[in-house]
Amino acid sequence: MSPQLLVWIAAMILQSALLGRNMYAIVCLTDLQDDIINPFDLSTKLNRFVMHEIIAQGCMAGMLLLSGNLLCGACHAAVLGYLLHLHSHRLLHVHTTDAFRQLPQQKKQRIILLAAHLLLFVVVVYRLIEKALLTLLTAEGRAMTKKLLHEAAASVHGY
């Protein structure tokens, strides 16, 4: 399998996780706004994943830059810079005592991140499909696909 294809598969997995994390944060903030969840539970749920989000974004940017995908890597590095800016000013964390006061600002930041991650998700999926098709259209790729499909058919039918 092509190393570039593996990079894009890993990128799609990481990008999906980051997109899901931001959707989860927006849902939790909306739950606080509708008094479904209390501020302590909200801060516990959201603050637990702040460093994981930054590390995943850093891994994504580094992986894409090191693999030679400079434009996409630079876009992810810009999102990482935004996350680091928010983290350094303690705007990425939800404080229990100020949760209701921070709510509009937190939702605005999360919607900006969601839009960026959604746009980057579309780019990553496009590049993954493009790389998969280019890999499978080579002679070696067709032979590998034929072998893989033959093994899959044999395991399904029990031949």
Instruction: Write down the pLDDT at residue 148.
Output: 78
Q: Which of 46, 29, 41 lies closest to 100 in space, CA to CA?
A: 29
Contact 99, 37 (CB under 8 A): no
pTM of this structure: 0.82
Instruction: Write down the pLDDT at residue 35.
Output: 84
Here the tokens at position 32 are: 């606080």
Contact 43, 95 (CB under 8 A): yes
User: Residues 39-62: what's their mean pLDDT?
Assistant: 93
Per DSSP, 70 falls in state: H
What is the Cα–Cα distance from 113 to 95, expressed in whole angstroms? Answer: 19
Instruction: Write down the pLDDT at residue 18.
Output: 96
Question: Please, what is the average pLDDT of the chain?
Answer: 90
Here the tokens at position 85 are: 């800016």
Q: How confident is the model at residue 2 (pLDDT cuts 50, 70, 90)?
A: confident
Q: In terms of C-beta density within 10 A (0-12 exposed, 13-18 middle, 19 or more buried), how is residue 41 classed?
A: middle
